[in-house]
Structure formats: structure tokens, C-alpha cells
Structure 1
Amino acid sequence: MSGEAEALQSDERPLVVGIGGTIGGVSSTERALRIALDAAGEQGFRIRLFGGADMAKLPLYDPKAHERTPEERDFVDTVRRASAIIIASPGYHGSISGVVKNALDLLEETARDSERTYLADMPVGLIATAYGWQATGSTIAALRSIVHALRGWPTPFAAAINSAITKFHDDGGASDPAVVEQLRMVGKQVARFAPLARME
């Protein structure tokens, strides 16, 4: 178990998990996700990011595998403890990236969980980045469809970021303050709706 995972387990605050990025370095998608996660953190939530480097360690999902790698177990167990999720994907050829889809496919491991199946009743924030507007819309639509299939609740606002126009900074900001506010809204909404998901 990583030091970050151990620290999360000792902290009893509710957890928001971020899933997104690309393989090959920190991307615009991952930077956008970090802004949204930080906004949730400001609302008193723990946050955990599974970025491109983390998802690159996940093997292609094999539903018939008898053993899971430590990285697969860490990912699934962290999502099991989450009160909310934020998913960010680049738009690749009109839909989500394979690496993000592979991570989400791994959540099939929760299909028979007695406490919560998949992402049942969990608020899920959505972010799409693409080099143009058309792919952002179709990527958000694909993410919504996947979250519905996993029984989660996509939050009302989703952030669609045109990376041909908006550039992200290494320090956590972006060239367009309005985009930063949109991403922060995603984080604030999952934080707002997470307590409702725990009500019975």
C-alpha cells in the first residue's frame, strides 16, 4: 500500500476520487481534474487522484483473471471508500480514451459488493478536454452513459474544455479564468451532493 493510500485510510473525512489523464506525462486533462479535485478538497473532503501514470500501471481488464495486481486492488478499494467521483477524459476520436475506459471497466470488481454495487447513488462529476468543441460534447455524452450504466448520478454541470483555446499552467491555473471556475464548479457539486448520497 502506498503512503498516500495509508494516509487516506487514517483520515475519516469523506473521500472524493479523481480518475483521468493520459499516458506520457501530466496532461491538460489531468491538470483540469486537479483543479476540480482541489475545489472539493476546499469543502472539507479528502481527495485522491488516479492520473495517467497510475492508470498506465493497470493491465488491460480481464474479467476472467483470478488475481488482481496491487495497483488494480488499490484502485478498486479506493473507489469503494469514495463518497464521490470525478472522471476526466480527453476526447479521442469522438469518445473517451482507452486508458480511462479500462480503469472504469475494472469497477466490474464491485458488481457483487453488498454495501454498494458499482457507483450506485454516488455523485459523479464529468470533465472532457479535446482539441475542438465537437469532441468535448460527444465525450461528455459517453461519460454520462457510462456513469448511468454504473448506476452513478452525473452531477448537473459537466465541464467541456477546448484545449485549442485554453492552456493550463504548471502552477495549477489556466489561461481562461472562466474555465477554472467551471472546473471548480464540478468539484463543488460533487462535494455538495455527496452527503445526500449517504442519506437513507
Structure 2
Amino acid sequence: MTLQSPGRSDGSIDGRARAWLALHAFRLNRAVHRAVNRNRRSISLSRSDHRPPPLVVGIGGTTRAISSTECALALALRGAEAAGAHTRLFGGTFLHSLPHYAPEQPARTDEQLQLIEAVRRADAVIIATPGYHGGVSGLVKNALDTLEELRADERPYLDGRAVGCIVTAYGWQATGSVLTSLRSIVHALRGWPTPFGAGINTLETRFDSADSCSDPKVVEQLATVGQQTATFALAFDAQRAHGAPAAASRSAASLASARSTTTPVAADTRPTRVLHAV
């Protein structure tokens, strides 16, 4: 997994602590692989040998180092890797470096261009946000607003891409409402939310690092998000490779979206703008 954030040093650790951390990391990695294997479909979906694995881009985090949101996202991406995908993570430190998106300004920073190009090449995306006062955080929303630059692409916005959704919150109330809100944003960007979305109550679940989660069930949920994202990316790619008509693809997208949420999907497929200057 490519981490788009600076490295961190944990300082000196005695031998017993190192051994404990190594054992915990091994158990966590094994739990992710078990969760992925349990959730694999009976059919085998893979690309032909001459084509690279799907790329899954992760977007999420907070301004706090080692945030629960970013740790959860990293675990989901690990699930995608176990399902055969390559991954790239844009964490909180990177998102904090993005300027406020201004659609009237044509110039883009290097950081904005990195995000835009990565999502343009992505076969699927996983978005993780904290629940702030009942909504998606401004940090994550600004990154999603930046994807307006994809409006004129052959695949505008998140069109034709599976999107996994993860929400962390200090209590259960915000997890459900923010997950619904995040799915609605994905629909507006023409993405396909995966059937399973993870809502994590950080009052009950602790993340000490990207390799440490106190609840094995949460690890399994996050692995499921990553596995579904990678599996759908492979399925969409196979459909494109066999020359499936665009209309059939759009119909399948509408059906999948309707099953995953009650938010209606617009029938108009023209690349109209999502953002409107006011």
C-alpha cells in the first residue's frame, strides 16, 4: 500500500514490546485475510495476465496523527489488497495540505493534481470520514469537492467506480446518519456505493495504530468493505473488457445503487457539473 503521508517514528521499544507488537500485527493481518476469504464470491473474477491489478484509492482521515478514521481506512485497503488490488492512501496529513477548492480558480496545486490524477486512474475508491455534528468532515468534503476537476472526463467524477464508505464517530447516532450522507455524496458523484458500509463507534473501538484495532469484528467489517470494493472493480473491468453496451452498464449501476440506498439515481448521464457557483 502506498501511503500519501509522512512517516512516523515510535521511538525505542524493548524486546518484549517488539515481540508483542509483531505478534499483534501478525494476528491482525491473519484476521483480515480470513475475513476476505469468508466473503469471497463463489465465482472467480480476475484480470487477464497482461493487465495490472485494479487500483483502489483511499481518501480519509483527520488532522490528528494516527486518527481512528485513517487507521480504519488503512485496514479496509488491506482487505482490498488481500482481494488482489493495488492501493494508495491519501490520509489526513495530505488532505490538510489541500487548499479550499475554488471552482472559479483555474490553477491547481501539486497536491490537488496528485489527488485528481490518482482518482482518474483509480478503478475504485474507499472514503473514510469522521462524523462531525451529524455530517461529513470539511477536510474530507473538500477533497471530494476537488474531484469536480473530473467533470469532463470520459468517466466523469466517480462514474463506473465502486466506492466503499466508512464512518467513525464517538457514539452510534452519527454513524448511521453520516453513512447515509456519505452515500448520497457518492451518488451525486456517480459512484456505486458498495452494499456494505462500515460504521464504527470509537467510544467502544480503539485504534492505536494502523495495525492495531481492539475489536476483531470491526476488522472483519473493514476487510469486507475493502474486499467488496476490489471485487466490484474487477467485475466492472471485466464488463468493459467484453464491450458491454454503455446503456446496460448504466442500468446495472442504477439497480446496484437503488439496492444499497434509498437515494434515487438521476437518469440523465450527461457530464453536468456537480458544483454550482453562487
Q: Do 1:173 and 1:180's aligned partners in 2 also have CA atoms closer than 8 Å?
A: no
Cα 1:61–1:189 change in 2 (3 A) is same
Residue matched to 1:153: 192
Aligned pairs for 1:19-30 (under 5 A) are 19-30=59-70
Q: Does residue 195 of structure 2 align to residue 169 of structure 1?
A: no
What per-residue deviation string (whole Å, max 9, x for no partner) do you get for residues 86-126 of structure 1? Answer: 0000000001100000000000000011x210001210000
Measure, in 2, the Cα distance between the counterparts of 1:196 and 1:118.
19
1:187 is displaced (CA, Å) by 0.3
SS of the aligned residue for 2:107 comes to coil
Measure, in 1, the Cα distance between the counterparts of 2:197 and 2:134.
17
Q: Give aligned pairs, total.
A: 192
Residue matched to 1:8: none
Measure, in 1, the Cα distance between the counterparts of 2:211 and 2:236.
29
Measure, in 2, the Cα distance between the counterparts of 1:79 and 1:16.
9
Measure, in 2, the Cα distance between the counterparts of 1:79 and 1:132.
31
SS of the aligned residue for 1:63 comes to coil
Q: Structure 2 length normalisation: TM-score?
A: 0.67
Give the unaligned 5+ runs of structure 2.
5-50, 245-278
Q: Structure 1 length normalisation: TM-score?
A: 0.92
Greater displacement, 121-130 / 190-199:
190-199
Measure, in 1, the Cα distance between the counterparts of 2:209 and 2:127.
20
Measure, in 2, the Cα distance between the counterparts of 1:166 and 1:88.
16
1:72 is displaced (CA, Å) by 0.3
1:180 is displaced (CA, Å) by 0.5
Higher Cα Rg, which structure: 2
Give the unaligned 5+ runs of structure 1.
5-10
Runs in 1 of length 4+ with deviation above 2 angstroms? none
Residue matched to 2:180: 141
1:196 is displaced (CA, Å) by 2.0
Residue matched to 2:236: 197
Residue matched to 2:36: none
Q: Does residue 106 of structure 2 align to residue 66 of structure 1?
A: yes
Residue matched to 1:110: 150
Measure, in 1, the Cα distance between the counterparts of 2:97 and 2:149.
17
Aligned pairs for 1:175-194 (under 5 A) are 175-194=214-233
Give aligned-pair identity as a percent.
Answer: 56
Residue matched to 1:7: none
Identify the match of residue 161 of structure 2 among 122, 129, 132: 122
Q: Do 1:159 and 1:186's aligned partners in 2 also have CA atoms closer than 8 Å?
A: yes
Measure, in 2, the Cα distance between the counterparts of 1:150 and 1:161.
24
Measure, in 2, the Cα distance between the counterparts of 1:121 and 1:137.
25
CA RMSD, Structure 1 to Structure 2 (Å)? 1.6
1:182 alignment partner AA: Q
